[in-house]
């Protein structure tokens, strides 16, 4: 569908699932092989024993010791790129959401045109493969006809200008509203660059043994899609190759994935006159009028080199190649909502080649995904009413407060930061907003219409959302709005809002269980909370002040010390070999790694404070609270990825692989080594001089 770029999303550092902390070291009995049998006080809400491998030695392979039981009994479903503890929760949530939709489908009293009615209609359209197969490409025939009608460069630019609010054409510019980084209280326009079929620039320009087969599969799959649009096999193959070559030229001036860690690389407010000068044949004033912002004076350009290059690239490329590029945009954007054969064709690349997934998700889960994407808050409200009581929200808010207190103590006691910078950091912490469970005000979907096809309905939802955001350009940012659905198993920090957000769906066992012992909750959801708080002070979040504005609030000497510490983190993680010859990209993953490490320290401190205040329950199942904390943290990252998915993650994802995240932050904490008696010579040992503590 129409890809509406939310450019600020590069700043929203999502946690994917848990993270933890440190303070005083609690000395514990070393745990080698099988430990004691469960004690009388063991809790029934204890997720640890059944997921561990007590035959493993935590000093030699802590990941295996902590989650080996889970790994042994877990198989990767054929419709997934991997499987994790978080996906177990997501599957549970999916079953609950499908149950809600099933009840809606059977309801006889839904008012026509209501959000619930629209959700039912869209869900039904997604499942109606008889209609989808019979319609074929008819739902996108109008888009393709508009592309066919282009006969010169002027008409091409007119199409790119006029089609943005009516078609599935993504175009070359990616203009989207988001908060301004230097004045985060106001929405502005961002210019983000072109649509590309491959995940990022490196897939076009980084030559290695793994990338070329992916390129070949991408071209081959593109050729198959073009045949659905009437191309014969030979012309489709030729067109797909030419489109790939064109996309490679478009990708060349783009930023590398690592460059997004520094906002100064992509935050470039430019007057509209600069865009006109760079691309004079494109009518920018008319385009802005169509978008509803005719008086816009500046646009934030994230890809300056691309802006300077695009005019020359277009003028030196034959028109038919560009038209083929736009046709493939439409086909890739809509294939999953057209016939079963087209859906499977697109999936064969994005699902199987890039991620190793053997088969598509069940039809109802795919349709649910569309409802979440198009009408997600309507379904989220029903989910919260059914599954998230107010008591759970109050408990998590209290836990967040304890983590914030622990963060304050850590900042106050940092030995590398000057008082001036500490004061600014504490001010940022004190003004941090916390959102838990669900929004206080629910988004509604009056502008979404259910069309004659699945594609048309989804396009209506995308365009309605785009227009909703465009209407806010130049207006105050709604600080109460959520950028994640309540039914999402994840969390995030927003630097422009200076807020941490924890949707209802992540607040479930094993991450959070009201009846579990403190170590399990602090190692699970407490670690996630600490992770998100720490994002305010990672290498990207630290560039935003308490109001969410891009501003340097550091003294020069503190900046140098911080940068030196982050370089150490990058080097440490880059030395970790995940697959033969493939290492973690320490520069790409630096922000998440800092948040993992800092979050783990914070959660551990908060646990110690809780135990001191409420009392230590003593060993449970033969494990101390310190031991259970680190095991619970590792369990939160239990994961089995397919190799293809893991390779893609290493090239594209700002998160390190789960197995690395499960252990490496702990290896930078003295308390971890004391808890399990890990000493020099043990595989998990990291010398004190190599342990890094930033926050």
- Distance between CA atoms of residues 562 and 542, nearest Å: 10
Spatial contact of 490 and 484, defined as CB atoms under 8 Å apart = yes
pLDDT of residue 269: 98
Judged by DSSP in three states, 199 sits in coil
Number of residues that this document lists for the chain: 695
Q: Return the residue matching tokens 């999936």.
A: 347
pLDDT of residue 391: 80
Name the residue ranges covered by the structural domains of the chain.
Answer: 17-93+389-443+481-690, 152-336
> Which of 11, 6, 3 minimizes the C-alpha distance to 654?
11
> Which of 57, 84, 82 minimizes the C-alpha distance to 70?
84
> Which of 402, 433, 429 minimizes the C-alpha distance to 604?
402
Give domain 152-336's CATH architecture.
Answer: Orthogonal Bundle (1.10)
CB neighbour list of residue 15: distance below 8 Å, 6 or more residues apart: 490, 491, 492, 528, 531, 532, 595
CB neighbour list of residue 212: distance below 8 Å, 6 or more residues apart: none
Burial of 245 (0-12, 13-18, 19+ CB in 10 A): middle
Determine if residue 677 is left, alpha or beta; phi over 0 gives left, psi from -120 to 50 gives alpha, anything else beta: left
pLDDT of residue 23: 25
**What sections of 388-507 are H helices per DSSP?**
390-412, 419-430, 454-470
In the CATH scheme, what is the code of domain 17-93+389-443+481-690? Answer: 3.40.390.10
pLDDT of residue 21: 28
Determine phi and psi for 299, rounding to 5 degrees: -135, 135
pLDDT of residue 9: 34
Q: Is the peptide bond before 422 cis (omega within 30 degrees of 0)?
A: no
CA 236 to chain centre: 34
Torsion of CA 206, 210, 213, 216, to 10 degrees: -20
pLDDT of residue 37: 30
Other beta carbons within 10 Å of 642: 18
- Distance between CA atoms of residues 187 and 181, nearest Å: 9
Determine phi and psi for 171, rounding to 5 degrees: 85, -155
pLDDT of residue 393: 84
Angle of the 141-148 helix axis to the 319-334 helix axis, nearest 10: 170
- Distance between CA atoms of residues 542 and 257, nearest Å: 19
* Whether the domain at 17-93+389-443+481-690 and the domain at 152-336 fall into the same CATH topology: no
pLDDT of residue 28: 29
Q: Which residues of 402-413 are buried (b: 16+ CB within 10 A; e: fewer)?
A: bbbebbeebbee
- pTM value is 0.88
The whole-number mean pLDDT for each consecutive block of 10 residues of the chain, a chain of 695 residues, reads: 32 31 26 30 71 98 98 96 96 97 90 96 98 98 98 97 95 96 96 95 90 96 98 98 98 95 95 96 96 97 97 97 98 98 97 95 97 98 92 86 96 96 96 95 97 98 97 96 96 96 94 92 96 92 94 94 96 96 95 96 97 95 97 98 95 96 98 98 98 96
Paired with 301 in beta bridges are: 191
CB neighbour list of residue 68: distance below 8 Å, 6 or more residues apart: 52, 53, 55, 56
Spatial contact of 427 and 455, defined as CB atoms under 8 Å apart = no
- Distance between CA atoms of residues 534 and 598, nearest Å: 6
pLDDT of residue 14: 33
- Distance between CA atoms of residues 80 and 97, nearest Å: 19
* DSSP 3-state percent helix, strand, coil across the chain (nearest 5): 55, 5, 40
């Amino acid at each position: 569908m129409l890809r509406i770029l939310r450019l600020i999303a590069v700043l929203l550092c999502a946690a994917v699932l848990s993270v933890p902390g440190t303070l005083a070291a609690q000395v514990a009995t070393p745990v080698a092989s099988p430990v004691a049998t469960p004690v009388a006080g063991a809790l029934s809400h204890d997720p640890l024993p059944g997921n561990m491998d007590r035959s493993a030695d935590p000093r030699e392979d802590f990941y295996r010791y902590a989650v080996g039981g889970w790994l042994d009994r877990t198989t990767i479903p054929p419709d997934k790129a991997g499987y994790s503890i978080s996906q177990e929760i997501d599957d549970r949530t999916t079953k609950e959401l499908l149950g809600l939709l099933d009840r809606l489908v059977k309801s006889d009293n839904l008012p026509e045109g209501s959000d619930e009615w629209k959700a039912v209609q869209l869900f039904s359209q997604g499942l109606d493969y008889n209609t989808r197969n019979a319609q074929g490409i008819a739902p996108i025939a109008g888009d393709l006809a508009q592309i066919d009608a282009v006969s010169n460069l002027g008409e091409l630019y007119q199409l790119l200008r006029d089609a943005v609010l009516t078609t599935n054409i993504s175009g070359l510019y990616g203009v989207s509203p988001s908060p301004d980084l230097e004045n985060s209280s106001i929405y502005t326009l961002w210019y983000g660059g072109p649509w590309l079929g491959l995940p990022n620039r490196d897939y076009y320009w980084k030559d290695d043994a793994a990338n070329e087969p992916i390129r070949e599969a991408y071209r081959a799959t593109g050729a198959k899609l073009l045949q659905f649009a009437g191309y014969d096999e030979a012309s489709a193959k030729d067109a797909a190759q030419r489109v790939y070559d064109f996309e490679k030229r478009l990708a060349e001036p783009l930023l590398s994935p690592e460059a997004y860690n520094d906002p100064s690389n992509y935050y470039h407010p430019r007057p509209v006159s600069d865009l006109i000068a760079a691309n004079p044949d494109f009518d920018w004033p008319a385009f802005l009028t169509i978008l509803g912002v005719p008086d816009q004076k500046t646009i934030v350009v994230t890809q300056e080199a691309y802006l300077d290059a695009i005019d020359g690239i277009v003028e030196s490329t034959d028109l038919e190649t560009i038209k083929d590029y736009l046709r493939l945009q439409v086909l890739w954007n809509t294939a999953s909502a057209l016939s079963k054969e087209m859906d499977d064709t697109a999936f064969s690349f994005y699902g199987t080649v890039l991620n190793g997934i053997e088969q598509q998700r069940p039809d109802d889960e795919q349709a649910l995904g569309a409802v979440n994407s198009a009408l997600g808050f309507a379904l989220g409200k029903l989910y919260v009413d059914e599954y998230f009581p107010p008591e759970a929200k109050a408990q998590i808010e209290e836990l967040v407060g304890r983590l914030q207190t622990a963060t304050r103590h850590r900042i106050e006691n940092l030995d590398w930061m000057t008082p001036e910078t500490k004061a600014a950091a504490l001010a940022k912490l004190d003004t941090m907003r916390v959102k838990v469970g669900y929004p206080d005000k629910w988004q509604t979907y009056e502008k979404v219409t259910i069309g004659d096809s699945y594609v048309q309905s989804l396009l209506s939802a995308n365009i309605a959302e785009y227009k909703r955001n465009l209407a806010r350009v130049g207006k105050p940012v709604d600080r109460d709005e959520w950028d994640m659905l309540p039914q999402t198993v994840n969390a995030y920090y927003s630097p422009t809002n200076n807020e941490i957000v924890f949707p209802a769906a992540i607040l479930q066992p094993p991450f959070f269980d009201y009846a579990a012992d403190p170590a399990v909750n602090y190692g699970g959801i407490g670690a996630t909370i600490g992770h998100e708080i720490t994002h305010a002070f990672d290498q990207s979040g630290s560039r935003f002040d308490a109001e969410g504005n891009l501003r340097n609030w550091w003294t020069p000497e503190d900046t140098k010390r911080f940068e030196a510490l982050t370089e150490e983190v990058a080097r440490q993680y880059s030395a970790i070999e995940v697959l033969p010859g493939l290492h973690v990209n320490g520069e790409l993953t630096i922000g998440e790694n800092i948040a993992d490490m800092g979050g783990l320290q914070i959660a551990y401190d908060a646990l110690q404070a809780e135990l001191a205040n409420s009392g230590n329950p003593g060993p449970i199942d033969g494990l101390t609270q310190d031991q259970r904390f680190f095991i619970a943290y590792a369990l939160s990252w239990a994961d089995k990825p397919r190799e293809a998915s893991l390779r893609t993650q290493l090239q594209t994802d700002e998160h390190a692989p789960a197995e690395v995240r499960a252990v490496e932050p702990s290896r930078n904490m003295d308390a971890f080594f004391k808890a399990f008696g890990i000493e020099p010579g043990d595989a998990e040992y990291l010398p004190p001089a190599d342990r890094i503590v930033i926050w």
